[in-house]
Each structure stands twice: as C-alpha cells, then as structure tokens.
Chains A and B, each alone.
Chain A
Amino acid sequence: MSDIPKRITLQEWDLRYEQLEKAGTYEPDYGGPLSRHVEDGDQRLLKLRYDNSAAALRLWNFLLTEEDRLHQARAAGRKIVGTMKDLGTVPVMAYCFENIVAFYPDGAWWIPCVMELGAGLLEIADSLGIDESFCPVRAMLGAFVTGAHFPIPDMLVCSVGATCDDFSAIAQRLNGLGHPIFWWEIPHRRRPEPDETAVNLPGGFSAPKCQVEFVKSQLERIKTTLEGLAGEKLDERKLSAGIKKANQVRRYLTELRHLAFTAERCPLPALEMLIAEMLAIHFCSDRQETINVLKELLDEVTSRVRAGKGILDADAARIFWVNPVADLQVMNLLEDCGGRICGTEYLFTHALDIIPEDLPPLEALAQMALADPMAGSSIDRAERICGDIRLFGAEAVLISRIPGASHCALEGLVISEIVRDKFDIPVLEIEVPPVTDSMRPTVHTRLEALVETVKARRQK
C-alpha cells in the first residue's frame, strides 16, 4: 500500500515515479513515467489529478499504451476486430480466439478531451457531415480517417437496433467511407407478455424467451464470421473458458466497486474507478493483463480500506454518477468540490454483471447482451440505479449528459423522477462536453452546490 493515499498532479507523479523505481517496484513492459504520454499529445494529462499508488500507475500506463499493443498484435499477425457499440458482449467472444484482439473504436470519443481538441478529429467529423449535433463519439470517424490513433481493424462489428441513434448514424457514415461493418441487431428489451416464456437476465431484468433466442441467433452469425476471420472453430469449451475469464474481470470489478463505494473513507479517486470500470468493456486489448491490473488495484484498495485510509475527507458527499463524462477532468472536479463517487451507472452495467456459467455459452452471452441498459427503457435503468443507491448509500445523484447523445431524450427526467420518488435525494443534471474549460465555473458551481446541499441535509 502507498504510504499516504492521495491525489497528485502529473508533475508530482514524476517524483513519485523516481521513488517507486528506486524502491524496485515491479513494472510491466508498458510501464514508465506517466508524463511521457504528454509527448504523444495527451495534453489533458497535465491538468488531471491522479491516485498516487503503483497500482494506479499501472492502470494508467495500461490504458495509455493500448495503441502500442494493437500495433504489436498486428505485427505479430493477429487479427484486430473493432467491436462497436455493444459495450461488452462481442469482446468476450472475440478473446476466445487465439489470434484475435478486440478493441473499442468508440473509445476514440475521449481523444478530443485527452488531446484537448488538438487531434482535429471533431473537425474531420464535421467535414464528413457529422457535426456537433451528434455525440462526441463522432471523433471515431476522424480517428479512422487519420489512422493515427489505432491500426485500421481487420473487421468491424457493430450492434444496431436498440442502441444510440447517433452512433448508428456515425457507424453508417464510417461504413460509407469504405470500412465495411458486420451489423448485428439488438432488439429493444421488453417485459414478457403473460403468454410468453420469461427469462431472467443478469442484472435483475427479464425478457421473453423469443428475444433471447433472437439475440442468440445474432451472436451465432458473429461467431461464424469471427471463425472465418480467425481460421479457427470456436467450440463451447473455448467459449465457456472465455466467459470464465471475462467473469474474473467482472468479479474483481464488483469487489472493487463495493469496496470503493461503501468504504467509510473513499479509497480510490473517481477517475481511476471510471477507467477500471471501462476495462470491462473490451479488456483494453489484453484480457489477461486486465485481470492483473485489476488484481493489483483491488489489493491496493483492500489494504487502504483495512487501514481506514482514503484520498478524501471522511465527510465527502456520497454521489451516485450516471453516464460517463466526455471530459475526464470533471471527475476530479467533483472531488475538488468535496464529493466522492458512491455508485456509478455508465451505460454498461451488463458488462459488470456475472455472465451465467451454468448455461450453454451462447445462450448466456445472449442473456447478458439483452441486459444492456441501452437495450432497455430508462425506467429499467432508473430501477437498477435505485437498487445501487440503496446498496452503496448514495446521498445524491448526478446525471452527466453527453451533448448530442441520443440514448433516450428523456432519460434524465425519467431517472430523476424515479430516484426522487423513492429516496427524496437531490438529483442534478449537468452537460459535459469533451473540454469543459470555458464552462468550468458553471460546472464547478453546480457540483459545489450539490455537495453543499447534501451536507446541509445531513443536519437534522
């Protein structure tokens, strides 16, 4: 465990890195000082605050070297599959093949933030007719055009149907640019009619059996296509083994979330928690290393919790955060304002739930895919959020809207009304663009006011 857990700047990390290096701390081959990533143009890193543990260093280095890993995979003759939009289903399958690496091109939506708009990706999207009225994930188009942020994949797989309309439009534009996409359909999850056979899904939802069967048929199509790409058959044994590995990631994350969100003193910053959770979607292009990174992080957090140490004051306002932010700095800002994260719903809770291991593997994956919060209604999301608010003891909810994103125009209203009805706690909506610098005072006021409100409500 780090001596005194705290949040530090990038400059402070350089000094800390020297100490860790002198102390002989283990580093993987992608290790090194964090500040070296600024040379690649990741200017935003200079403005963030980081956890000071070696585990956090490993997490950040793992995240920021994904592009290198993809290039290494290509050089080694492995096939690269871009798995778009389903946030956690196809990667589980893809990683069952020896010579396939899956990654998440949608992750390019953070490049404008991390490079402080310096990469020009949004401008390229503009020039392709996908302007700022669309979700910032349109940066992905620019990344494909420049080819500068990831190698062009050998295959693209994208879900459509009950997904974000913006993303579907952007992906279609990508397809039109000469990047063929293998489309698969995810239906809008509905509750079973009385005369239908109901299936209980991970996450506490249910769906009619016919929907599960349909999704299973879609996954069969993907499996066949991946087999063609890999030149390798994917039998049930291999798929089951892949599901077990994915579940190992999910178990670590479940434990990490529970510890971090319920500890008396916040043991890990919101930013590192966000990145850790994101690993569940696509394993950052290395499933086994994801497991190793999360294990080290979990060990660090466990030690801190046992020692009663944390990175924030014990009276920090306990905030449940809904939707990921386009600007990572806003996660720091909540903590600067006196808040801490106690629960998250970043639109991929299905990638955190354990995939059933007692079912035929494709059936299990189909059930998991149907449990995607984006495939269901905002009411379903709100119910799950309420369950987690109860579990983690959150005192307020913060819904960060993604400009242009169209998961559901009314999701903020639906979630806030249901949460208020059940818990009578404050719910605040904020909009977070990729770079919030010009809006910082405005966002700061809202977050600070939320924290003040929570603390005032504690006084009986």
Chain B
Amino acid sequence: MICAGIDAGSRAIKTILIDTENMQVIAKGLADQGVEQDRLASELFKRVLKKNGINKKDVAAIVATGYGRSAVSIADTTITEITCHAVGVHHLVPEAMTVIDIGGQDSKLLRLDTAGRVRDFAMNDRCAAGTGRFLEVVAERLGVELESLGRMAANSQDPAAISSMCVVFAETEITGLLVSGTASEDIVAGVQASIAARIISMAGRNAETPIIFTGGVAMVSGMADAMQTALGQTVSICPDPQMTGALGAAILASKQLKKAST
C-alpha cells in the first residue's frame, strides 16, 4: 500500500510517497510555492506519480501539512508541521530528543520523548528574523547565491553584530554595515549567528541531545555550525532535511489508515 505526505510550506511544496509495508520512500518531489497553492500541490503530486509510474488510485491516503495545508484539496486530512516534522525526524533519527526546524517563514523547536512524540514546542513570532526568509534577504542584499553563504561565513574574521529584532530593520543595519566597510563575509556570519540566537531563545535553558536540525535552512551551509556554536552542543543535520515534514505526513497517513482498518 502507498501513502503520501504533502508539505505545503511557505517557500516550497514537498511531497513524499512511502510503501507502508516497509515504510520506505518510493517517490518524492519538490516545487516552488506560489499563489495558487492547491493547483501547485496537485500538479507536483501528479508529476511525482507520473515520473515514478504510480497510479493515483494506488495511493491509499494523503496527509497535508505545512503553512498551506488547508489549501491542499487532494489531501484526506491535515496535520500540523510540528507533529509531522517530529514523526519524520524520529523515523530517520530515532534517538532525536530535540528538533530544530527552520523553514522559509517560521522556525520551531520541538522537544520529543523517546517514542518520538512531541512533548513540547516553541515557534517564532510574526517576525521573520529567525527564518530562511532572513537569509534570502541577506543574499539578495549582498548579491550572492544562498548556497555561497556558508562558504562566506567560514571565511569571516570578525562576525558583525546584528542586533535588530526584525528583518526589515536588519536589512537597514546590513546597509549600514556595508557603508561602513564591513566585509560581506562578516555580515553573513553575523546574520547566521543572529538566527541561531533566536533559536536558542526558544530552547530555553535546556535542549536535550541529540539535537537534529531540519527544514530547508538546514541545507544552507554554515547554519548548523552557527547553531552548534550558539548552543554549545552538537547539532546534526537530518538526512534530506527539507523533506522531513512530508515524510512525517506520509507516515502519519499510513498510521491513520492502519488505525481505521483495525
């Protein structure tokens, strides 16, 4: 039997199909998010089915998650990204106790129990300062690719202090730093440290290890290092970090199906 998860995030839509017999991923795909969220999710899903020679009627259940989950009309049900990321990460890294998830528009910190259930969680506020959007703004402002941020941060000699609590103000601050001659590498390192600091404030006094970093921002080089430095603890990047929400959604679709049939 096949179950699917669709993670309709703020910047990208991800889908994963799993074989419920062995819980292995059999197909996956990703597309940019846009205004017509339902159509984009549906097109991505069809594309992934076609590419992998899977018939829609063979998909027994679909769970949608992510910011735009309620717009995904092909889904049988929706579950929040908090629960789905926890399930996805636990499936890939069963010993995970803390999950840091930074996506395009929000960031979250999940505390798990040994069975992978969410014990507690925290999310950022309305401001995007601790999210992937912040990195995009910085890359745009510096005229560099997102992928190069990690390399730039690694070359920083003296990370700049970014104190603003808001992306818009931070952009002004970055302009000021550039005018004052601060190296782009130091600005990038400062921004990454600032995002990490936001996460630390959510973690409170104790982030239980192992700490697993997931979400699209985990793929931006240098971010895990910044997180590790700020936390003073090892932070491991989850395998295929951008897909964990969709994976968790697919697993939960399978569990719901099994529960319904018993």
The residue of chain B having its C-beta at the shortest distance from the C-beta of A337 within the complex is B80
A453 CA to B99 CA in the complex, in Å?
15
Q: Are B125 and A431 in contact (CB under 8 A)?
A: yes
Whole-angstrom CA separation of A449 from B204 in the bound complex = 19
Chain A 429-460, CB-CB to B under 8 Å as 1, else 0, gives 10100000001011001101100110011010
Contact status A431-B126, CB under 8 Å: yes
- Pick the interface stretch among B13-21, B114-122, B155-163: B114-122
A452 CA to B126 CA, complexed, in Å: 22
Q: A417-B204, A441-B67, A456-B117 are in contact. Are A449 and B82 (CB under 8 A)?
A: yes
Interface size on B, residues (CB 8 A): 20
**Does B81 sit at the interface, judged by CB under 8 A?**
yes
Residues of A near B126 (CB, < 8 A) are: 431, 439, 442
Does B42 count as interface, using CB distance less than 8 angstroms? no
B83 at the interface (CB under 8 A from A): yes
Please indicate which of the listed interface residues A425, A427, A448 has the most CB atoms of chain B within 10 Å of its own CB.
A448
Is residue B220 contacting chain A, with contact meaning CB distance below 8 A?
no
The smallest beta-carbon distance between B202 and chain A, in angstroms, is: 10
Given A431-B126, A449-B83, A452-B80, are A426 and B67 also a contact pair (CB < 8 Å)?
Answer: no
Looking at the assembled complex, report how far the CB atom of A378 sits from the nearest CB atom of chain B, in whole angstroms: 15
The interface bits of chain B over 72-114 (1 if a CB of A lies within 8 angstroms of the residue's CB, else 0) are: 0000000111110000000000000000000000100000010
Tell whether B123 is near chain A: CB-to-CB under 8 Å. yes
Chain B contacts of A425 at CB under 8 A? 120
B122 x A456 contact (CB < 8 A): no
Instruction: Find out whether the CB atom of A456 lies under 8 angstroms from the CB atom of B67.
Output: no
A420-B120, A441-B67 known; A453-B204 Cβ under 8 A: no
Most buried by B among A413, A425, A453, A457: A453
Interface size class of A (residues with CB under 8 A): 20 to 34
Residues of the B chain whose Cβ atoms lie less than 8 Å from the Cβ of A452: 79-80, 82-83, 118
Q: Is the CB of B83 within 8 A of A453?
A: yes
Residue pair A453, B67 in contact (C-beta under 8 Å): no
- B204-224 vs A: 1/0 string, CB under 8 Å? 110000000000000000000
How far does the Cβ of A187 sit from chain B's closest Cβ, in whole Å? Answer: 31
CB pair A459 B119 closer than 8 Å: no
Closest A residue to B67 by beta carbon equals A441
**CB pair A428 B67 closer than 8 Å:** no
Q: Is A255 an interface residue (CB 8 A)?
A: no
A424 located at the interface, meaning its Cβ lies under 8 Å from any Cβ of chain B in the complex: yes
Chain A residues near B123 (CB, 8 Å)? 445-446, 449
Identify the interface centre among B118, B119, B120: most chain A CB within 10 Å of its CB. B120
Q: Which residue of A lies closest to B66 (CB)?
A: A445
In whole angstroms, what is the CA distance A78 to B121 when docked? 53
Bound CA–CA A416/B109 (angstroms): 15
Q: Give the CA-CA distance A57 to B81 in the complex, in Å.
A: 38
Most buried by B among A424, A431, A442: A442
Inter-chain CA distance A428–B123, complex, in Å, is: 8
- B contact residues around A445 at 8 Å (CB): 67, 80-82, 123
B119 neighbours in A (Cβ, 8 Å): 424, 426, 453, 457
A-B contact pairs, 23 of them (CB 8 A): A420-B120, A426-B118, A427-B120, A428-B121, A428-B122, A429-B122, A431-B125, A431-B126, A439-B126, A445-B67, A445-B123, A449-B80, A449-B81, A449-B118, A449-B121, A452-B79, A452-B83, A452-B118, A453-B118, A453-B119, A453-B121, A456-B118, A459-B117
Residues in chain A within 8 A of chain B (CB atoms): 413, 416-417, 420, 424-429, 431, 439, 441-442, 445-446, 448-449, 452-453, 456-457, 459
Measured CB to CB, the residues of B under 8 A from A are 67, 70, 79-83, 106, 113, 117-123, 125-126, 204-205
11 more A-B residue pairs beyond the given contacts A420-B120, A428-B122, A453-B120, with a C-beta to C-beta distance below 8 A: A416-B204, A417-B205, A426-B119, A426-B120, A428-B121, A441-B70, A445-B82, A449-B80, A449-B82, A449-B83, A453-B117
